[in-house]
Structure 1
Amino acid sequence: MDQSQNISNQADQAVGQAQGSNTAQSAKESCQEAGQQMKAKAQEAADAVKNRVGAQK
């Protein structure tokens, strides 16, 4: 393998690693966003129950 092929292979590896890192970061952010949405929905449900229980007193 000559030097230009070696450099090309290293560049390809770097691109692949960067793409993998971007994909992992995107997945992490998606999971965090989904978690925040679930937390907000759970809080809304808890507030609705509190309001309902309070209205029955």
Structure 2
Amino acid sequence: MDNSEKASFQAGQAKGQAQEKSSQMLEKAKDSAQSAKESLQEAGQQAQAKAQGACDAVKDSINK
């Protein structure tokens, strides 16, 4: 293997490693985004439940 082939091989290896690293980072970002989405959905459901509870409390106090 001459220097040119060796350099080409090493460049190919570096490119492959960079692609793998980028793929791993993208996967982590997707996982983080999914986790954030689930947290926001849960917070929204809790807020909705609290608002419903407040509405029910107002209705109960008016109907007494």
CA distance in 1, matches of 2:56, 2:47: 14
Q: Percent identity?
A: 42
Match in the other structure for 2:7: none
Corresponding letter in the other structure for 1:10: Q
The structure with the largest alpha-carbon Rg is 2
Unaligned runs of 5+ in 2: 1-9
Give distance in 2, aligned partners of 1:12 and 1:24. 18
Partner AA of 2:55 in structure 1: A
TM-score norm. by structure 1 comes to 0.89
In the alignment, which residue of structure 2 is the partner of 1:39?
48
- State the match for 1:24 in structure 2: 33
Q: Distance in 1 between matches of 2:26 and 2:11?
A: 23
By how many angstroms is 1:4 displaced?
A: 1.6
- Deviations 1:3-32 (Å, cap 9, x if unpaired)? 221111100000000011111111111111
- In the other structure, the counterpart of 2:6 is none
Q: Which runs of 4 or more aligned residues in structure 1 lie more than 4 Å from their structure 2 counterparts after TM superposition?
A: none
Query: What is the number of residues matched between the two proteins?
Result: 55
